[in-house]
Each structure stands twice: as C-alpha cells, then as structure tokens.
C-alpha cells in the first residue's frame, strides 16, 4: 500500500454535524484524487 496524497492536516470540528460534513468532504476529495490516479482509474 502506498500513500498517494494527504487530504489535510489535523482538524478540530465544532460538533458532530461539522465532523460528518468534514468526513463527506474528505470522501469526495479522496474519490477525485483516486479517479485521477492512472493505475487505480
């Protein structure tokens, strides 16, 4: 396994809703990164 790219550094969220929104953004970002990675696309 190889790290392709960090999504971001440590983030402190102001509550559960903010955490859930952050996780959703991370998932979207990870999908975009992986879609652009030739050996995974």
Q: Please state, in angstroms and rounded to a whole number, the distance separating the CA atoms of residues 19 and 40.
A: 28
Q: Which element (helix H / strand E) includes 27?
A: helix 16-35
The pLDDT of residue 16 is: 98
pTM of the model: 0.77
Place of tokens 């509550």: 15
The pLDDT of residue 40 is: 64
Per-residue pLDDT of the chain (41 residues; tens, 9 = 90+): 788 889 999 999 999 999 999 999 999 999 999 898 777 65
């Amino acid at each position: 396994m190889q790290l392709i790219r960090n999504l971001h550094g440590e983030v402190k969220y102001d509550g559960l809703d903010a955490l859930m929104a952050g996780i959703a953004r991370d998932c979207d970002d990870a999908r975009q990164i992986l879609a652009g990675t030739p050996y995974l696309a």
